[in-house]
């Protein structure tokens, strides 16, 4: 047995360097002759650029180049792209305006990059940026999503009513028919608040042109360096793909925000050539990150749920307006459509669902995927609405959900919104969560709180999500511009050590550990002998990167396939070494043996023989290295139940989370310690969304929450000790490991649990973030209403 194989709580390989300050993040990379870039950004939400006078900046000390959108155009650089073409109800393609690297003609949000200054030092670049003279003709902006359609102001002249697409999913006629015979209809209007991802490492890039080889290297804070290379090559046109190396070294958190191809990494790479090949570095200041990293969420939704007289869900009807900001970011179009409406069945057997989504441009920072990406919005809507419906018909929220669950013997289950859930057992996670949360004794705890003048509430959320988006043929038919496979390479060395190359990228998820566990387990080699290499397009095979909780389910399975090929080849070599027929060779725990005998050779002996093939099967290639690709047949569908218990101080509106129980079914688990850690982090972000995070713009399009002084981030003293349990799960059928994604669940399942708990405590629902002020006002309004009765 491999000691640190699948299922073991192995301490992480990567931590030694991180706890000693030896991590290597993009901003830690300094090269001889390195110059620095500062981006001059629009101070206006919407304006025409009348003129840019470079002279005053160019004459500043240390300045090497001042480059604008005109320079990009003159060099033939292409525009940034959105990689997913969504079609409107009428079949027409979504309407997009151009997204230049540096603004051309107009600026469209506060933070829109207008020019780059390259200088010997960052301070010199910044000082010159202050001196750059840009004359603007300020225009009226459209800031509010609610007003975007009829604002009379166009973010892009070619997009009428700022409407990018008007999309639908589901059977509208069936839904209308179901509503016509409903005994009860629950209706809700809600907002999914706009968030700023805030990975702790600000985005950064170092571009370097090497005149000798006429090639470029770009170090960048990326979750998917190969996708960066593809877009920077094929669409931006910086260099042909084989002349561009993209390296994503240690990356300090992503949460979606580092998937996207941004202007800055493209511009510094291009600028390095403009200044003769000196490396050019840019690192975002935090204030800059707030106005340049893609934001998340930002929906306004009206929904209706039809029930029969017994409390069975008959149909769900949803209308959502989604804010996409000023430009279409890399995957933005897919988030409020294919990653949102497809999840609206939740864990329930609601037979008819119809959703339509209108996506709008506004003069705000572009909006794209943020941890969960579409699925938190679906889960929040559905779970808040289910709670409301249960209250309206006088049923316990847990029992109402149970009544409507897809039963465990109904899988595979075709939902009315396109997805086929492969496996699930929703009652199991509900039961375990209710037990751990001591749900049945809640009334006693509430009474105890009341005696202390506090309001106590309990909230449930039964989430489902879809991870590892696939298969490529389906996503392609829905408009995706890329395939969503993953690749892997496994290489033995002469001495029996193993190098593992993956196209995924780890930026906190611990792949260097879990992938080594998988390979050690499959090949029967010591975990310590396996090294996982990722994040460099010159070292690793092609890949699609890490997002949507895909790495283990897709990339891990590619690794398994490569390991299987190694074993198959190893059997041929072992058969020759053992003078036996290949069909008689068995492989187990790192040993090839002849069935029914005590004759065996180890994997290390086989690897050595493969590289020193003095006595070797005729016709077999030397070497022991195999590559594999994996394109999954389906998503994975993690699901679970979260229970949040809160105590609200009616005097201040402060919400204290007194207990949070998360019970998840992630199928099989490779490293429970890491999986629990992923849930903890997701919960914190989801609780942050529920209680304090929210990007706020003023009417003029200035971001009011533009720093950690203004944007509330969860801190240690406002979070509880989480109770996180991974049940012995239903193994996923879309990969041989039986694993499901776990990275986003916490952020998807927690906001509705928190809000439902607050609603239970104070008797009225407040919009997220449920700040003390909002909660206090809601309590006052219910008291006034009661007093008036």
Partner 1 sequence: MVTVSMTVNGKQVSGEVEPRTLLVEFLRYNLGLTGTHVGCDTSQCGCCVVHVDGDSVKSCTMLAVQADGSSVTTIEGLAQGGKLHPVQEAFRENHGLQCGFCTPGMIMSAADLLQKNPSPTEHEVREWLEGNLCRCTGYHNIVKSILAAAATMQGAARAAE
Chain positions contacting partner 1, by CB under 8 A: 11-12, 14-25, 27-28, 30, 123, 198-202, 250-253, 255, 285-287, 507-510, 673-674, 676-677, 680-685, 707-709, 713-717, 719, 721-722, 746
Q: Decide whether 435 or 680 has the Cβ nearer to partner 1.
A: 680
Q: Give me 575's structure tokens.
A: 């058969």
Residue 715 C-beta: closest distance to partner 1, Å: 6
The string over 211-240, giving b where at least 16 C-beta atoms fall within 10 Å of a residue's C-beta and e elsewhere, is eeeebbbbbbbbbbbbbbbbbbbebbbbbe
Q: Decide whether 255 or 492 has the Cβ nearer to partner 1.
A: 255
Q: Decide whether 233 or 509 has the Cβ nearer to partner 1.
A: 509
Q: Decide whether 3 or 214 has the Cβ nearer to partner 1.
A: 3
Which residues are CB-contacts of 134 (< 8 A; sequence separation ≥ 6)? 40, 49, 51, 52, 53, 114, 115
Measured in residues, the chain has a length of 789
Q: Is 165 helix (H, G, I), strand (E, B) or coil?
A: strand
Q: Decide whether 397 or 681 has the Cβ nearer to partner 1.
A: 681
Residue 512 C-beta: closest distance to partner 1, Å: 11
Residue 166 C-beta: closest distance to partner 1, Å: 35
**R_g (Cα) of the chain, nearest Å:** 28
For 651, counting Cβ atoms within 10 Å of its Cβ (0-12 exposed, 13-18 middle, 19+ buried), the class is exposed
CA distance 357 to 210: 47
Residue 119 C-beta: closest distance to partner 1, Å: 14
Yes or no: say if 119 and 36 are a contact pair by the CB < 8 Å rule: yes
Q: Decide whether 250 or 626 has the Cβ nearer to partner 1.
A: 250
Strand partners, 127: none
Yes or no: say if 46 and 154 are a contact pair by the CB < 8 Å rule: no
Q: Decide whether 528 or 582 has the Cβ nearer to partner 1.
A: 528
Residue 251 C-beta: closest distance to partner 1, Å: 7
- If one counts every other C-beta atom within 10 angstroms of the C-beta of residue 475, the result is 18
Residue 741 C-beta: closest distance to partner 1, Å: 16
Strand partners, 532: 500
Yes or no: say if 670 and 517 are a contact pair by the CB < 8 Å rule: yes
Residue 680 C-beta: closest distance to partner 1, Å: 4
Q: Decide whether 284 or 406 has the Cβ nearer to partner 1.
A: 284
Q: Decide whether 78 or 686 has the Cβ nearer to partner 1.
A: 686
Residue 545 C-beta: closest distance to partner 1, Å: 15
- If one counts every other C-beta atom within 10 angstroms of the C-beta of residue 717, the result is 5
Q: How far is CA 338 from the centre of its chain?
A: 14
Closest CA to 750 of 768, 775, 732: 768
Residue 42 C-beta: closest distance to partner 1, Å: 19
What is the sign of the dihedral through the CA atoms of 529, 535, 536 and 540? positive
In three state form, how does the secondary structure of 507-546 look?
CCCCHHHHHHHHHHHHHCCCHHHEEEECCECCCCCCCCCC
Which alpha helices (H) appear in 275-322, and where do they start and end? 286-290
Q: How far is CA 426 from the centre of its chain?
A: 24
Residue 382 C-beta: closest distance to partner 1, Å: 24
Q: How far is CA 304 from the centre of its chain?
A: 28
Q: Decide whether 542 or 673 has the Cβ nearer to partner 1.
A: 673
CA distance 525 to 512: 16
Q: Is 649 helix (H, G, I), strand (E, B) or coil?
A: coil
Q: Residue 471, preceding bond cis, omega within 30 degrees?
A: yes
User: What are the phi and psi torsion angles at 316 (to 5°)?
Assistant: -130, 135
Q: Give me 702's structure tokens.
A: 């200035």
Q: Decide whether 80 or 685 has the Cβ nearer to partner 1.
A: 685
Which residues are CB-contacts of 113 (< 8 A; sequence separation ≥ 6)? 39, 40, 41, 42, 101, 102, 103, 263, 264, 267, 292
Q: Decide whether 30 or 213 has the Cβ nearer to partner 1.
A: 30
Residue 177 C-beta: closest distance to partner 1, Å: 45
Q: Decide whether 5 or 202 has the Cβ nearer to partner 1.
A: 202
Residue 284 C-beta: closest distance to partner 1, Å: 10
Yes or no: say if 288 and 223 are a contact pair by the CB < 8 Å rule: no
Residue 268 C-beta: closest distance to partner 1, Å: 18
């Amino acid at each position: 047995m491999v000691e640190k194989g699948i299922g073991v709580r192995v301490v992480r390989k990567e931590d030694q360097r991180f706890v000693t300050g030896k991590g290597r993040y993009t901003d830690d990379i300094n090269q001889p002759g390195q110059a620095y870039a500062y981006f001059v950004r629009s101070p206006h939400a919407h304006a025409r650029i009348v003129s840019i006078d470079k002279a005053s900046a160019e004459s500043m000390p240390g300045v090497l180049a001042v480059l604008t959108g005109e320079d990009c155009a003159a060099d033939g650089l292409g525009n940034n792209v959105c990689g997913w073409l969504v079609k409107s109800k009428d079949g027409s393609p979504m309407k997009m305006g151009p997204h230049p690297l540096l603004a051309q003609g107009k600026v469209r949000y506060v933070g829109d990059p207008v020019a780059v200054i390259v200088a010997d030092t960052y301070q010199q670049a910044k000082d010159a940026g202050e001196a750059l003279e840009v004359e603007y003709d300020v225009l009226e902006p459209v800031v509010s999503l609610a007003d975007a359609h009829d604002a009379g102001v166009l973010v892009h002249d070619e997009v009428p009513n700022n409407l990018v697409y008007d999309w639908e999913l589901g059977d509208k006629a069936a839904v209308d028919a179901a509503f016509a015979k409903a005994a009860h209809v629950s209706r809700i209007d809600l907002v999914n608040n706009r968030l700023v991802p805030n990975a702790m490492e600000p985005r950064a890039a170092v571009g370097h042109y090497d005149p000798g080889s006429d090639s470029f290297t770009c170090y960048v804070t990326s979750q998917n360096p190969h996708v960066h290379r593809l877009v920077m090559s094929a669409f931006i046109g910086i260099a042909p793909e084989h002349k561009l190396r993209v390296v994503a070294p240690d990356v300090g958190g992503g949460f979606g925000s580092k998937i996207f191809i941004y202007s800055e990494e493209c511009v510094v790479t291009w600028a390095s050539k403009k200044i003769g090949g000196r490396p050019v570095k840019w690192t975002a200041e935090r204030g800059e990150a707030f106005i340049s990293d893609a934001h998340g969420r930002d929906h306004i939704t009206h929904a209706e749920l039809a029930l029969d007289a017994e409390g069975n869900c008959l149909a769900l009807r949803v209308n959502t307006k989604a804010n996409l900001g000023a430009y279409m970011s890399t995957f933005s179009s897919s988030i409020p459509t294919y990653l949102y409406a497809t999840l609206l069945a939740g864990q329930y057997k609601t037979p008819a669902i119809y959703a339509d989504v209108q996506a709008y441009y506004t003069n705000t920072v572009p909006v794209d995927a943020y941890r969960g990406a579409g699925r938190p919005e679906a889960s929040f809507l559905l779970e808040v609405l289910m709670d409301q419906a249960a209250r309206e018909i006088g049923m316990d929220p847990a029992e109402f959900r149970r009544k409507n669950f897809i039963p465990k013997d109904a899988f595979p289950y075709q939902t009315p919104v396109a997805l086929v859930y492969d496996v699930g057992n929703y009652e199991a996670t509900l039961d375990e969560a209710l037990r751990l949360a001591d749900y049945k004794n809640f009334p006693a705890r509430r009474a105890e709180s009341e005696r202390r003048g506090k309001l106590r509430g309990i909230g449930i959320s039964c989430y489902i999500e879809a991870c590892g988006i696939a298969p490529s043929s389906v996503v392609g038919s829905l408009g995706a511009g890329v395939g969503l496979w993953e690749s892997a390479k496994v290489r033995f060395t002469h001495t029996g050590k193993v190098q593992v190359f993956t196209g995924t990228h780890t930026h906190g998820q611990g792949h260097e550990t879990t992938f080594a566990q998988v390979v050690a387990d499959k090949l029967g080699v010591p975990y310590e002998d396996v090294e996982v290499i990722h994040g460099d397009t010159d070292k690793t095979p092609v890949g699609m990167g890490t997002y949507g909780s895909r790495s283990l389910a897709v990339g891990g399975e590619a690794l398994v396939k490569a390991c299987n090929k190694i074993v198959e080849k190893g059997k041929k070599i072992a058969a020759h070494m053992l003078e036996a027929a290949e069909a008689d060779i068995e492989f187990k725990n790192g040993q090839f043996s002849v069935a029914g005998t005590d004759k065996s050779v180890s994997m290390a002996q086989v690897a050595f023989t493969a590289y020193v093939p003095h006595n070797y099967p005729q016709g077999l290639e030397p070497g022991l290295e195999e590559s594999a690709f994996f394109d999954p047949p389906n998503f994975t569908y993690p699901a679970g139940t979260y229970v949040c218990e809160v105590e609200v101080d009616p005097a201040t509106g402060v919400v204290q989370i007194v207990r949070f129980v998360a019970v998840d079914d992630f199928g099989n688990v490779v490293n429970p310690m890491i999986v629990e850690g992923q849930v903890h982090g997701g919960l914190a972000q989801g609780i942050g969304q529920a209680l304090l995070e929210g990007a706020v713009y003023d009417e003029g399009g200035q971001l009011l929450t533009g720093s950690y002084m203004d944007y509330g981030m969860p801190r240690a003293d406002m979070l509880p000790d989480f109770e996180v349990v991974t049940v012995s799960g239903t193994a996923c059928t879309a990969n041989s490991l039986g694993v499901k994604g776990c990275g986003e669940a916490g952020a998807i399942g927690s906001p509705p649990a928190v809000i439902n708990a607050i609603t239970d405590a104070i008797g009225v629902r407040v919009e997220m973030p449920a700040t003390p002020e909002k909660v206090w006002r809601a309590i006052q309004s219910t008291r006034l209403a009661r007093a008036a009765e």
